[in-house]
Amino acid sequence: MLIKTVLVFLGLMVLVAMLGRAFFPSATNRILRKSVPKAARCRNCGRYLVGRGDCDCKKKA
Ligand SMILES: [Zn+2]
């Protein structure tokens, strides 16, 4: 009986997730964007900034 309750619980979770996507697509998109942040780019040269706040081109110039 325990397995059955677990299966029902999982089914409800999937159902809620599907309903959430159906009714609040913008909200799920926001969550996805938060989980995968946009890579920061340098405003001058357009290179990706990994870890650092400033690009190397600014320091050189
Ligand atoms: Zn740069």
Q: Distance from the CA of 53 to the center of ligand 1, in angstroms?
A: 11
- 37 C-alpha vs ligand 1 centroid, how far in Å? 19
Helical ranges in the chain per DSSP H: 2-23, 25-35, 56-60
C-alpha of residue 60 to centroid of ligand 1, in Å: 10
The answer to whether 54 and 43 are in contact (CB under 8 A) is no
pLDDT of residue 53: 67
The amino acid at residue 28 is: T
Q: What is the pLDDT of residues 11-51, one digit of tens each?
A: 999 998 888 877 776 766 666 566 555 677 888 888 887 76
Q: How many whole angstroms from 41 Cα to the centroid of ligand 1? A: 8
Q: What residue has token string 């998109």?
A: 29
Identify the pLDDT of residue 7. 93
DSSP per-residue codes, 45-57: T-PBP-S-SS-HH
The pTM assigned to this predicted structure is 0.36
How is residue 24 annotated by DSSP? -
